[in-house]
Structure 1
Amino acid sequence: MSTTVKGRVVIGKGSGVITGTALVTTEPICFLGGVDVHTGNITEQGHPLYGACMKDTILVFPTGKGSTGGSYLIYDTIMNGNGPRCMLNLAVEQVTAIGCIMGEMPLIDQPEADITQLIHTGDPVSVDFDNGTITF
Structure 2
Amino acid sequence: MNHSEVILNGKAQGELLVLTEALSFWGGTDISTGRIIDRYHPQVGKLLAGRIVVLPGVKGSTAGTGALLEMLCAGVGPAGFILRGPDIIVTAACQIANNLIATTVPVLRIPDLDFSDQSLAGIWNIDDDQIFIVQSNSIRLNPKGGFPNTKQGSPRRLTTGS
TM-score (norm 2): 0.68
Instruction: Tell me the residue number matched to 1:95.
Output: 89
Q: Distance in 2 between matches of 1:52 and 1:121?
A: 18
Letter in 2 for 1:85: A
| 1:81 corresponds to 2:103 | no
**What's the CA shift string for 1:23-81, capped at 9, x where partnerless?**
11121111010111100000111111101111111111112121210001110000111
Contact 2:48 2:78 in 1 (8 A): yes
Mapping for residues 39-50 of structure 1, pairs under 5 Å: 39-50=33-44
Give the distance between the partners of 1:6 and 1:92, measured in 2 at CA. 11
The answer for unaligned runs of 5 or more in structure 2 is: 99-104, 134-162
TM-aligned CA deviation for residue 116 of structure 1: 3.4
- Which residue pairs with 1:108 in the alignment? 108
* Partner residue, 1:25: 19
Structure-2 separation of matches of 1:10 and 1:59? 15
3-state SS of 2:28 partner: coil
Q: Distance in 1 between matches of 2:131 and 2:57?
A: 17
Q: 1:94 to 1:38 in 2, by over 3 A?
A: same
Secondary structure of residue in 1 paired with 2:66: helix
Among 7, 10, 26, the residue aligned to 2:4: 7
Name the SS of the counterpart of 1:54 in structure 2: coil
Q: List structure 1 segments (4+ residues) > 2 angstroms apart after TM superposition.
A: 112-122, 133-136
Asked if 1:65 is matched to 2:59, the reply is yes
Identity level (%): 25
